[in-house]
Amino acid sequence: MKSLADCRLYTFVDTAYFRGRDPLNLAARLCDGGADLIQLRAKDWPADRVERLAAQLLPICDMNGVLLVINDHPEVAARLGVPLAHLGQEDFFDAGRTHVSQVLPPGSKVRLGLSSHAPQEAERALAAGAAYVAVGPVYPTPTKPGRPAVTLDYVRWAATTIHDRPWFAIGGINAANLDEVLEAGATRICIVSAILDSPDVTAACREFRRRLPSKV
């Protein structure tokens, strides 16, 4: 299994974008396209339903050397042996947590990524033991309605400040604005709609992968 530090392209199996498609097929197509990580994001699903799908996604990811991430449910990741989980600021700090160990069972090998929307949020995520930090939304995005864009200034801050752990630019990134995100210093990106809305998910994934720097 690849190291998180070597990962560049973070993709999603998001229930909001299924539109009748088979999530297992979507995951396989993302793997074929060169995804390094796939996050299962199911904001409107109960934990038991998330766990059933995650159990089916995990062997697909493992077979392709892709890291699976479970959004919102670190306990599900721990039970299944999924390598990564992800929480937003509101689900972590606003819930009174101050360290990742507070949401993971004792002895768990799950690593937790955290969202951030400003420099001080990134700094406290790192201090809390986050395995990686998501930086965004860089641009307005339907994935986070009502959340103001953090702009490229935050990407530039992350590029010059966060050196000890991976960070991923996220939010509204597409083929048209990718170059300016990379020029701002991003070397890792999260892509949701620009891949999942594509008629050819694998081809879209490959194109983003091709345009990312070969080294991080």
- Could you give the CA distance from residue 133 to residue 33 in angstroms, rounded to a whole number? 23
The CATH number of domain 4-211 is 3.40.50.720: no
- Could you give the CA distance from residue 47 to residue 49 in angstroms, rounded to a whole number? 5
Q: Is the pLDDT of residue 146 over 80?
A: no
Read off the tokens for 111: 């690593």
Q: What is the pLDDT of residues 161-177, one digit of tens each?
A: 999 999 999 999 999 99
Contacts of residue 61, Cβ cutoff 8 Å, sequence gap at least 6: 27, 31, 38, 67, 68
- Could you give the CA distance from residue 29 to residue 31 in angstroms, rounded to a whole number? 5
Q: Which of 56, 75, 66, 120 is nearest to 93 (CA)?
A: 120
Q: What is the pLDDT of residues 41-64, one digit of tens each?
A: 999 999 999 999 999 999 999 999
Q: What is the pLDDT of residues 76-92, one digit of tens each?
A: 999 999 999 999 999 99
pTM value is 0.96
Task: Identify the DSSP state of 86.
Answer: E
Q: Which of 183, 201, 164 is nearest to 38 (CA)?
A: 201
Between 108-112, 140-144, 159-163, the lowest mean confidence (pLDDT) is in 140-144
pLDDT value at residue 216: 64
